[in-house]
Amino acid sequence: MKHPGEERLMAHVETLDPEVAEHVRFCGPCARIVTEFRELALALTDSTAWPQQSSGSLPFDPNAEFEDESSAEVLLENLKDAPVAAWRERFPRRSGSARTLLRHAHSLLEADPQRAQAIADLALVLITDIPDEQERHYLRGWAHRERANALRYLGQLPEALQALDRAAEFFGKLPTGDFDLGTLLYIRATVLREQGHFPEARNAAQQAERIFAEFGDTVRQTHARLALANIANNEGDLETARAEYVRLLASPAIGDDELLLTRVRHNLGCTLHEMHDPEGAREHLTQAMRTYSKLGLETEVARMRWNLARVTMMDGPSSTAQLELEEAIDQLTAHGMRSDAALARLDIAELLLGDDDADAARTHCVAAIDDLLAAGMNVRAATAMALLRDAAATDQITVAVVRHTRSMIEQLHR
Ligand SMILES: [Zn+2]
C-alpha cells in the first residue's frame, strides 16, 4: 500500500481502517501523522484546550494579504502572546488538520457559534503553513465561509458579509471554485434577508439557485428556493410565498429530508395564517408540530403551540385561545424563550382588551415586561418596555398600544 494520504489517515483516526492500521505499523512518517491527528481529535473533544472566550474578532487583520509566506511569519511573530500562537505550536500544520478543524467548526455553528469562530480562526493560522497554493486558496475560502456562518449566528451581520467577501476572493482564484461561490451566495442571501435588504437577498438567492441547479445539487437548490419563498413572505408577497411553499412540499428533492419538509410546512402554516386561512394554517402547523415532536425539537414544538393558539385567536372562542396561549407560554418559558413568551402575553392582553377586561390585560403586560427583562435588553426592547409600562401605569393600555409594542419586539427577531 502507498502512503494513504492525510484525509484517509484522518478518517482512520475517527473509524479504524484495518488496511491503514497495517500500513501505519511499518511506516514511520504515516505513524507520526496519525499520532498528530489523534492529539488533534482529542483536543477537539476537550473544552479546556480552547480559550474560554473568543474576542469576536480575529487575532490578526483578516484583510491583511499574506500570500507571501514571509509576511505570514511576521504576522505570526506579532502574535506571540495571543493564545493562537500556542495553538499553532500545538497542532499539526497540515491540510488534514485544517479540514478537520473546519468540519468541526461547522458542526458547532448552532450549538456554540463563538467556539466555531475561534476554531475557524485557528484553521486560518494553520493554513499559512500549507505548501500547495491551490489547497491554501481553497482552505482559506472555506475558513472565511465558516467565520461568516459563525458571525451570522452571532448576529454580527456586517462582519459576516465581510467574511463572505474574503471567502469569495479565495474561491475566485480556483478554476473549480464556482460551486463554492454558490454556497457563499446562499449564505449572503440569508444575511441580507436578516438585515431587511430583501431585493438584494432575492438576487443572491436566485444566483445561488442557478449555480446549484447547474451542478445538479437538488438539496441545496431546494434550500435556495425555500430562502426565496421566505424573502417573498418578508416582502409581504404572501401569494408568491404560499405558491412556492406548496410547490416545494410536492418536489421530489425534499422527500427524504424530514426536517426540511417540516420547516416548509411550518412556514406555509404561518403564511396561511397571515392570509386569514385558519383551516389551512391549522392543518400544516399541526403536522409540523407532530414531526418536530418526533424529532425531539422541543423549542420548535413550543413555537408551534403558540402559532396554533394564535390561529385560534382568529377563528375560535376567546376563552379557548386564552387557554392555548397560557399553555404555550408555560412551554416557551420552560425552554428559556422569554421574548417569545412576552409576545404571547401581549396576545393574551389583546384578547382581554377585546373582552373589556383592562385589569387582567395590565397584569399580562407587566408579566411581559418581566419576560423582556429576562430575555436581555437592547434599545428596542427597552423602548417597547417603557411604552408598556407607561400605558400600564396610566391605565392607557389599548389594543393599539399592545399591537405597536408587539411589532417593535417582533423586529428584534429579524
Ligand atoms: Zn506511509
Distance 221 CA to ligand 1 centre (A): 40
Distance 1 CA to ligand 1 centre (A): 8
Least confident of 124-138, 165-179, 270-284, 286-300: 124-138
Distance 85 CA to ligand 1 centre (A): 29
* Cell triple for 305: 403551540
Higher pLDDT, 324 or 89: 324
Residues, CB-to-ion distance under 5 Å, ligand 1: 3, 27, 30
What average pLDDT does the segment 137-146 reach?
A: 95
* pLDDT for 55 beyond 50: no
pLDDT at 253: 78
Degrees (nearest 5) of the Cα angle 237, 243, 245? 100
Distance 27 CA to ligand 1 centre (A): 5
Distance 33 CA to ligand 1 centre (A): 9
* pLDDT for 90 beyond 80: no
Distance 161 CA to ligand 1 centre (A): 42
Question: For 239-256, what is each residue's pLDDT tens digit?
Answer: 999 999 999 999 887 877
Distance 98 CA to ligand 1 centre (A): 20
Tell me the CA distances in angstroms from 383 to 200, 229, 337, 353, one per residue in order: 30, 32, 20, 22
What average pLDDT does the segment 400-414 reach?
A: 69
Distance 100 CA to ligand 1 centre (A): 20
Distance 6 CA to ligand 1 centre (A): 10
Q: Which amino acid, 261?
A: L
3-state helix, strand, coil in the chain (%, to 5): 75, 0, 25
* pLDDT for 147 beyond 80: yes
Q: Residue 282: phi, psi to the nearest 5?
A: -65, -40
pLDDT at 52: 42
pLDDT at 412: 53
* pLDDT for 407 beyond 90: no
Distance 86 CA to ligand 1 centre (A): 28
Question: For 107-123, what is each residue's pLDDT tens digit?
Answer: 888 777 887 888 888 88
Distance 10 CA to ligand 1 centre (A): 13
pLDDT at 141: 96
What average pLDDT does the segment 176-195 reach?
A: 93
Distance CA 293, CA 286 (A): 11
Distance CA 128, CA 98 (A): 10
pLDDT at 297: 87
Mean pLDDT for the chain? 83
Distance 19 CA to ligand 1 centre (A): 12
Distance 69 CA to ligand 1 centre (A): 28
pLDDT at 377: 53
216: left (phi over 0), alpha (psi -120 to 50) or beta: left
Distance 31 CA to ligand 1 centre (A): 7
Query: How would you label 248-282 residue by residue, b for 16+ Cβ within 10 Å and e otherwise?
Result: beeeebbeeeeebbbbbbbbbbbbbbeeebbebbb
What average pLDDT does the segment 197-211 reach?
A: 96
Strand positions, DSSP E, 83-170: none
pLDDT at 67: 44
pLDDT at 87: 59
**Residues of the chain above pLDDT 70, percent:** 83
Distance 197 CA to ligand 1 centre (A): 52
What average pLDDT does the segment 33-45 reach?
A: 77
Distance 84 CA to ligand 1 centre (A): 30
pLDDT at 84: 53
pLDDT at 137: 93
Inter-residue contact 271 to 307 (CB < 8 Å): no
* Cell triple for 295: 424529532
Highest mean pLDDT among 75-79, 113-117, 128-132, 232-236: 232-236
Distance 30 CA to ligand 1 centre (A): 4
Which of 39, 128, 118 has the alpha carbon at shortest distance from 82? 118
CB within 8 A of 277, min separation 6: which ones?
Answer: none
* pLDDT for 56 beyond 60: no
Q: How many CB atoms lie within 10 A of CB 131?
A: 9
Distance 52 CA to ligand 1 centre (A): 37
pLDDT at 61: 47
Distance 393 CA to ligand 1 centre (A): 77
pLDDT at 310: 95
What average pLDDT does the segment 158-185 reach?
A: 94
pLDDT at 59: 47
* pLDDT for 71 beyond 80: no
